[in-house]
Structure 1
């Protein structure tokens, strides 16, 4: 992802927030037959306070990606959406797309079977915890044989990134009045209304306002 200083994300707390809120990731590696990608859940490692993430892939994706042997790129996509040139006012303009993305890359560590099982348990708990009647991985009618058989079909990993490229392109290069108009459109009821993107833009522009002289 090409970086632009105006749009760079560097704050660790913000990066962790985006990763935590958008765990559905794309995994990319340069395999023996060329580029390969897969989609899986990744979570921040709860035992670390950096950008280390844990996850799993189903077999044989571990072999296809050469997991643990070569570099893996993990892409997290945050809120994104269309921005109409009509929202800029009476100026020359073209359409664009605002977005938030975090790219982590490095060679992942393969987890032991027990570590992988703990990560799988946590993944289930993270998402089931929002349900009115959560079904944990060990909740009946699941039994140990069932759970361990499923876990054996996966390979867990931990990735501490050696390279981080993160970007939030949210009209930071536009005048404040233009940004406010874009926000009004995104928070409205038009065909490109996007409350989630608007909320992310407001976060970025509050920081921008604080830095203005």
Structure 2
């Protein structure tokens, strides 16, 4: 998390909304082999207190996660900010970005919980994709689904700390922020520019 408090969202629900909408995280943990990271789709619990994910049994992090303290990071849009977009003197280039860190203890899921996670994950994204009828595992052979499920392990991170950062030039005057927004739009970073317009002033 960025140390400047002006980059922390004031809306308590915004971090959870970003995690649900982006739906993909990097999972970091220490192992006897050194620090490791894995990348996985995630399911945030309804109460925003748990984050579920699954990894291949062959992933270098898998055998070390049960009982470990880990950090999950969900990243949104980001872009370079040119110092030439400012009018004030003695400015330097920087980077605007959106990131949400979640820390907590990880537990291994049992088979029923893993299947529930997979069902929730596909249901959520099939709905968003507008697929009609949506894909479900009922369309698969039960034996093949079982074999594929055997190749992965499910986990749940009990979130003890949220550390979101929305670095959207909130520490700059309104006229400078407007120039950054226009510069980002010209570079094709429309999503980040839109966030600055909608959220940057409020955090």
Q: TM-score, length-normalised on structure 2?
A: 0.89
Within 5 A, what are the aligned runs for 1:3-14? 3-9=3-9, 11-14=11-14
Q: Please, which moves more after superposition, 163-172 or 25-34?
A: 163-172
Deviations 1:31-69 (A, max 9, x none): 011001111111211xx3224211111113386451222
**How far apart are the structure 1 equivalents of 2:72 and 2:88?**
40
Question: Any idea what SS the aligned residue of 1:161 has?
Answer: strand
> Is the CA contact 2:36–2:61 (under 8 Å) kept in the aligned structure 1?
no
- Superposition pairs of residues 50-69 of structure 1, within 5 angstroms: 50-61=48-59, 64=62, 66-69=64-67
Structural RMSD (CA): 2.0
Q: 1:211 aligns to what?
A: none
Alignment of 1:80-95 (within 5 A): 80-89=78-87, 91-95=89-93
CA contact (8 A) 1:62 1:155 kept: no
- How far 1:206 sits from its partner (Å)? 4.1
Shift of the alpha carbon at 1:12?
A: 2.6
How many residue pairs get matched? 202
Tell me, which stretches of 5 or more residues in structure 2 are unaligned?
A: none
Q: Distance in 2 between matches of 1:72 and 1:20?
A: 19
Relative contact order (C-alpha < 8 Å, sep 6+): which is higher?
A: 2
Corresponding residue for 2:109?
Answer: 111
Q: CA 1:171/1:73 → structure 2, altered by over 3 Å: closer, same or farther?
A: same
TM-score (norm: length of structure 1)? 0.86
Distance 2:10 2:57 in 1: 34
Q: Any conservation in 1 of the 2:29–2:61 contact (CA below 8 Å)?
A: no
